[in-house]
A and B are shown apart, each in its own frame.
Chain A
Amino acid sequence: MNAKTKKINNQVMWNRLISVVEEQAQALIRTAFSTSVREAGDLSAGVYNSKGEMLAQAVTGTPGHVNAMAESVGHFIKYIGEKTFREGDVYITNDPWMGTGHLHDITVVTPTFKDQKFIGFFACTAHIVDIGGRGFGADAISIYEEGLYIPIMRFFDKGKINNTLIQIIRANVREPDQLVGDLFALAACNEIGIKRLLVMMEEFKIKNLTIISNFILERSYKATLEKISQLPQKEATGFMTIDGYNTPINIKIRLTILKHEIRCDFTGTSSVDEKGINVPLVYTKAYACYALKCTIAPNIPNNAGSLSPFKVFAPINSIVNAIHPAPVALRHVIGHFIPDTIFNALNKIMPNTVPAEGAGTLCNFQVSIRPTEYQSVGEDNYRSEVLTFNSGGSGARPNSDGLNATAFPSGVMTMPIEATENTGPIIIWRKELRPDSGGIGKFRGGLGQFMEVGVKEGYVFDFQAMFDRVNYPAKGQNGGGSGSPTLIRRDDGLKMKGKGKQFIPNGNKVHLAFPGGGGFGKVAHRDKSLIKRDLTLGYISTESAQLHYKLSEQEINSVLQNKKK
């Protein structure tokens, strides 16, 4: 191997590392038990150098893990102690502040050795469905109620499993078999990463990751700076109000673009909430960086180098920098609104680049089902926990409509309803687009969706709502209209709350309408052919076509007559 081809080798190795972590993530998806991981892709995987700097990360469904993962290995080095690292060790935590923001995310870190020498780490994180406590929801008033807290510790010690830990876990969670299955899946996916890394090192005849890690981090840092330097050096503020639990929450940011960094300051944001919707700073950073990277440097892979120019500040005890023991289980509900708030500021600095506000947080709910009469519990009559992920509409873009029922900023997938109904006596009666829910504008906001949820005869259920945008729908941008708000009620007409656990008696269903995205630009500038298309497709009603989009009766009739040609 000569010096000239080395540069090419470094590039090849970088590509390889990205492929290795993607494969690590795939292995996790295929072996995990929690629906959140296996169907929805709520997980993350990465490789690190010996200093704990992240070199590559799999692009999975969760920008929320971006920085959180990047930082967490540093905490493991500090609390485990590098001198005690041994081959066969595996470490674990679900610490919301040193992991990825809530107890439901388990992070597993495996130190990696080559020829008995410690060279770096593989780490992965997954969202598991239950960690004990009150169950997944916003109702807790401190972290102590939210479930079992696993400080950074050894999961395997030189290849030997920590049985005490497993016993404690088993005694504290609702689905012990599945959780332990997930823990093994996490450890196994790191092993797959290690195996592949060692093959690569053998092939390229390298003894440690020093040179390749310098190459990756320097290249990425430089490329990100290059992108930043092309931006106007300006400052702007962004603002958004959302439902919160009982009181509305203001998210405020000041965005400053400097030559070598971008600062994001959350001063002025509401303070910690009494319920479990608070956000540890790691998670705030993750979504802030995600929004900036999407806009400024979408093609530069995530690693310690490319993330370092983004600086995030938030006052302690604000809702975006909650500290122990604040409840944080639903930190995503607030966290998912951070990108739209940043876009609000970015729109002032870089007009016509970023979208209008969208549905923001995922429209998730968990259903706890039990038989109405306990004597009838038997083989086919059982309790069941079902978690589903769903999405509203995304905000309209400067040059195109928002996406219908598509997750943003989260990237997780919904579960097929046929798969969901196979996991318990739940019945989803409806899941389809919600016409007229996209904010009007030159470009229309994405449509939200309708859902109707019930259970089989003989069962009742608790409905754990995790919605927002009930009182504060997605706002339009540059003259665009707001999207429709979230609606939630029982089929007998009873109004329900957007957040929290609510009992649904025998025979009743829950009717849901998830929010649409905001529009972009003035509706008067909308291309008539797009209005007609929307009417043909039933994205908008004839009333809306007439009222908002000013289509004449004649035009409407002509569209309706020709719509199926």
Chain B
Amino acid sequence: MTNTLKNETKIRIGVDIGGTFTDVVLEKNKEVFSSKVLTTSDFPEIAILNGIAEVTKEAKVKPETISQIIHGTTLATNALIERTGAKTALITTKGFRDVIEMRTESRFEQYDLNLMMPLPLISREHRYVIEERISATGDILIPINKTKVMELIKALKNENYASIAVGLIHSYTNDYHERYIKNILSKQLRNAMVSISSEVSPQMREYERFNTVSANAYVKPLMKSYLMRLQKKLIKQKIVCPIFLMHSGGGIISLESAAEFPVRLIESGPAGGAVFAATIAKKHKIKNTLSFDMGGTTAKICLIKNQKPKTSRVFEVARSYRFKKGSGMPISIPVIDMVEIGAGGGSLAHVDELQQIRVGPQSAGSNPGPACYSLGGNSPTVTDADLFLGKLSEDGFAGGSMPLSKIDSENTLKINISDKLGTSDEISAHGILEVVDENMANAARVHAVENGEDLSDYTMIAFGGAAPLHASRICEKLGINKFLVPEGAGVGSALGFLHAPFSFEATRSFYSRISNFNLKLTKNIFAELQNDATTFVKSCAPNSPIQSEYKVYMRYKGQGWEIPVHLKEKDALKPTGKELKKLFEREYKKIFGRIVNDIDIEITIWSVNSFTPLKKITEIEPIEAKKIARIKEKRSMFDSKLGREVRAKVIARNQLNEGDEIYGPAIITETETTIILTSNFKATVQMDKCISVQKNE
């Protein structure tokens, strides 16, 4: 059959642009090739072309035979953090000019008298108001007036805005006024791009929605021009295949959709990482996994239940104050739910006024980097502690291309920690690692409890440069018995892109109560949302079957926090109050322990996620240990659980074969990372070279 034949020769490319590196992976049949090149911040497409040239050469394929490119990028995120977006205006309801500036009217740090608030994305002089008003129930209280809109447009015309955001009160329930303005704007101000909040994020809560539409408008010109440039450059290289973009919800959308809703591209890299972990979980037939990605600056933790990453409807970007909750800006779009904390190899350690060791969230970055890089860094980092305690070696870092200096680590540990606490350098380094591991374990615990999950039946999947070094200790702390370190962990996000389905999640706020549940109205909501979502997916994959998932957010009447409740297709097409109540109570009980009797239940947000079937993954059987790997080399390593030094076996990953078994304490080295097995763990090499690490009985 020609169809299958075509599929077999498909050459697909995944590209992830990160802050430092641009990762490109190429998939040819079942083979995977990868390259890592430096990111070219001003013109990111250059790095992509470089990466593609490198990887196609290695795979011995011609660029013009590439059939699909899937791309994820931090470009939109960076524009928000660095405030390098376009000149943008916000049009909002009269009386509400300052919503995005007043935020929640609270301080995200209670004890800092000199606290500064992050500046609003669109400054006050660029925020315009229009007389109009819609009520919470969608009734028009003050109709919009064409003369007034025209007056406003006159004012806007003089200012040459590249982009305009429109966010009106209660537009999630009635979008008539926003569309009315959009219509006139697109005729009158042809040079400006327009984003309206009822399209970008039709969810209740004005601060979140206005901020989201502002962010979309702010990055739109930049993203659009970048994506168009990229397409042109690729065509020049005779790469004429379709380009798709990874979005924050863990799926892919067309280049056109991405250019229209660039805010959905935020966090696409980490989303790719979560999809990568989900793929590994599926391959290894593991039900529930904790994805743990630790790099130089941050660690990201994500729950993957039933081989699917958890999703959420709002998140925060551009935190301005020590990664503190509330110090960034909220973006309400469907997103893979993960916690990101300031803990990485480069995280700096110091002793505070309570004589406690603190680690992060500040990072030494790559320049000067940890003290052991000997590039002038003079504060101890997590990497210094790892080196000092024998978990890293001086000559094995980054495949030996980056010699490390243990003496430099020791000196900085002594000056900054040991001398202040009156402890040995060993205990200081141990303290740094315990603190950073505890920080990450705490973040994972809190995240699990918030989702009503018990981590003890989870398996961890560890990737990113620093994760395998810390995985075993964090598993000990979390009571997790098993973790996997997959191959290709260094380019995990880009690999994840290749496994992401075409998908689009459409959400809408609509109040409904179980006590007066209206089947007709609610049935239509799901039908409309499904139509919206599938239209997006069809634009990418016109011939593929499309599946949909249905979800509502529910709570007891009077509560403020909604919990997601999933519906089966048959229930979604014909939802009944009784069934919804049952599902809600089951979920509520799981998270909070007990249900509340006699209180009505509300449904606030409705969502349909439509997607193409996931790429088929061949499951593999776990391998039983065949033989104990013979390892001669040993070095001293500090075992955190035992609290003392032990002699650990050392072996290179590429010398291990399927079925080999290694008992901890052991150190498995590879170019991009090092896997540490504490005395409690043993590892078995799997069919796909994935290393499966299990607690000893």
Contact = CB atoms under 8 A, between A and B. Distances in A.
B204 A390 contact: no
A294 B99 CA distance: 28
Given A177-B598, A354-B113, A188 B204 contact: no
A285 to B, nearest CB: 17
Interface in B87-108: 94-99, 101-102, 104-107
A389 B560 CA distance: 15
Contact of A8 (B105, B427, B558): B427
Contact of B169 (A14, A298, A391, A417): A417
B112 A405 contact: no
B477 interface: yes
A406 interface: yes
Given A8-B427, A16-B442, A23-B449, A403 B113 contact: no
A226 B354 CA distance: 10
A564 interface: yes
A428 to B, nearest CB: 8
Contacts of A293: 111
Contacts of A1: 643
Interface in B341-366: 352-357
Contacts of A191: 593
B431 interface: yes
Interface string A398-414: 01100111111001111
Interface string A513-554: 000000000000000000000001111000000000000000
Nearest to A298: B111
A418 B434 contact: no
A181 B596 CA distance: 7
A416 B593 contact: no
Interface string A202-244: 0100000000000000011001001100000000000000000
Chain A, interface residues (CB within 8 Å), range: 35 or more
B643 A4 contact: yes
Interface stretch (B123-131, B175-183, B253-261): B123-131
Contacts of A390: 105
Given A299-B353, A406-B117, A563-B125, A421 B170 contact: yes
A188 B594 contact: yes
A188 B592 contact: yes
Interface string B408-442: 00000000000000011001001100110011001
A11 interface: yes
Contacts of B596: 181, 184
Given A181-B599, A416-B204, A418-B169, A11 B357 contact: yes
A453 to B, nearest CB: 11
A408 B107 contact: yes
Nearest to B97: A432
Contact of A15 (B113, B438, B644): B438
Contacts of A433: 97-98, 101-102, 124
B114 A407 contact: no
B170 A4 contact: no
Contacts of B431: 8, 11
B614 interface: no
B205 A418 contact: yes
A50 to B, nearest CB: 23
18 contacts: A2-B644, A4-B423, A4-B427, A15-B438, A16-B442, A19-B446, A27-B592, A32-B560, A38-B559, A181-B558, A294-B110, A294-B113, A389-B105, A397-B114, A400-B116, A411-B106, A416-B208, A418-B169
Sorted nearest first, the 7 A-B pairs with minimum C-beta distance are A38-B560, A430-B95, A298-B111, A5-B643, A33-B558, A30-B561, A421-B136
Given A403-B117, A564-B126, 18 more contacts: A8-B434, A11-B431, A11-B434, A29-B560, A63-B110, A188-B594, A223-B353, A293-B111, A294-B112, A408-B107, A413-B104, A416-B205, A419-B205, A431-B102, A433-B102, A433-B124, A537-B124, A539-B124
